[in-house]
């Protein structure tokens, strides 16, 4: 496994990380911990050193899973977690809205440290920008945690360029986590140029388009009742049919390269910038191995040009979030 540094920071991680959300949250019922720990440990054995979680995944149970799974090799990996949703600490119930008040951030940090079985959080992201709290106050709270030795690096998630600049002026932002793939390319317009200018790393979540770019989802796929993709316009049946053209493009390139569509999708992201580290998620060992295998796939400049030319002819249909979730995206 190759390594990459996130922007101009000292934080070095494997070129591909592991997004752990789907093991506990979002894609149907939470999976059994006893089945997920071997997946996380297999990721480490195959060179992955970057594990992504958040307090809201569950809530709480995904952090507990990651903490237990990486405990035998904690000092050799980077754990990223997140604050910013409004969660009752006692009941674990998610309350309406966001909460990035400085005192709440510090409470979340203490609770996350316990669940992760660690004495320091390597990368602490604000999960969503809270419009009721100045980002300078948020950055200041994380700066305090860094000075106390409880956090090493500050990150933002789904933040717009103005917020990124304001936060970075108070405390260096090591990484931005946002959605990015051939299925969602908006970050290319303003976000990626801003990150490059400021020396901030980029950690794309959903680099496989929430599973769509693997080629394993079509208009006949039925999601489980509590799979959030049921609420995502991009995944309604008509849009799935229309967006199949993008999967067909990836499949044609994959056939030439003796690879899978998922591997081409990940290799394409890795080819964009040397400081981009995607975090595909999976609950299956064979998919984990497939994702890691993308490191060995080579896309030439001709291949990349072909993908660019053909992808530019395809207009992806459907919003990437429900209306309610869209309102939490910072612009």
- Which candidate in 27, 57, 125, 180 is catalytic? 57
**Does some domain include residue 224?**
yes
Strand, helix or coil for residue 100: coil
Task: Specify the pTM.
Answer: 0.97
Task: Give ∠ CA 228-155-280 in degrees, rounded to 5.
Answer: 45
- Strand segments (E) across 116-191: 121-126, 151-157, 173-179
9 inside domain: yes
> Looking at the 3D structure of the chain, how many domains does it have?
1
* C-alpha dihedral (10, 57, 42, 295), degrees to nearest 10: -50
Domain that holds residue 308: 3-326
57 catalytic per annotation: yes
Q: What is the dihedral of CA 161, 165, 167, 172, to 10 degrees?
A: 120
State the residue for tokens 């990437």: 320
Kindly give, in sequence order, each residue whose CB lies less than 8 Å from that of residue 47, ignoring residues fewer than 6 positions away: 1, 14, 292
Which CATH number characterizes residue 201's domain?
Answer: 3.20.20.100
- Tell me if 331 is assigned to some domain: no
pLDDT tens digits in sequence order for the chain, 331 residues long: 999 999 999 999 999 999 999 999 999 999 999 999 999 999 999 999 999 999 999 999 999 999 999 999 999 999 999 999 999 988 889 999 999 999 999 999 999 999 999 999 999 999 999 999 999 999 999 999 999 999 999 999 999 999 999 999 999 999 999 999 999 999 999 999 999 999 999 999 999 999 999 999 999 999 999 999 999 999 999 999 999 999 999 999 999 999 999 999 999 999 999 999 999 999 999 999 999 999 999 999 999 999 999 999 999 999 999 888 988 898 7
Packing angle, helices 61-70 and 33-45, rounded to 10? 50
């Amino acid at each position: 496994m190759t390594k990459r540094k996130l922007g101009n920071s000292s934080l070095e991680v494997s070129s591909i990380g592991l997004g752990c959300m789907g093991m506990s949250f979002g894609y149907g019922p939470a999976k059994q911990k006893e089945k997920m720990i071997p997946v996380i440990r297999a990721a480490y054995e195959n060179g992955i050193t970057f594990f992504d979680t958040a307090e809201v995944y569950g809530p709480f149970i995904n952090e507990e899973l990651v903490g237990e799974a990486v405990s035998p090799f904690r000092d050799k990996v980077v754990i990223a977690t997140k604050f910013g949703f409004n969660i009752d600490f006692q009941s674990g119930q998610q309350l309406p809205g966001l909460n990035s008040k400085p005192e709440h951030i510090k409470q979340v940090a203490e609770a996350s440290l316990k669940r992760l079985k660690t004495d320091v959080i390597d990368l602490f992201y604000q999960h969503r920008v809270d419009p009721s709290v100045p980002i300078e106050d948020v950055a200041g709270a994380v700066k305090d945690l860094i000075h106390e030795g409880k956090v090493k690096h500050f990150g933002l998630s789904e933040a717009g360029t103005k917020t990124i600049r304001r936060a970075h002026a108070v405390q260096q932002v090591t990484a931005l986590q946002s959605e990015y793939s051939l299925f969602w390319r908006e970050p290319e317009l303003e976000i990626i140029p801003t990150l490059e200018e400021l020396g901030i790393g980029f950690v794309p979540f959903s680099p496989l388009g929430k599973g769509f770019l693997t080629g394993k989802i079509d208009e006949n796929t039925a999601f489980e009742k509590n799979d959030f993709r049921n609420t995502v316009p991009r995944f309604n049946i008509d849009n799935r049919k229309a967006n199949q053209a993008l999967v067909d493009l990836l499949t044609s390139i994959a056939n030439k390269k003796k690879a899978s569509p998922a591997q081409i999708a990940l290799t394409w992201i890795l080819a964009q910038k040397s400081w981009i580290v995607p975090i595909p998620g999976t609950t299956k060992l064979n998919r984990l191995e497939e994702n890691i295998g993308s490191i060995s796939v080579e896309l030439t400049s001709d291949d990349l040009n072909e993908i660019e030319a053909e992808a530019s002819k395809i207009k992806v249909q459907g919003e990437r979030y429900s209306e309610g979730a869209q309102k939490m995206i910072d612009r």
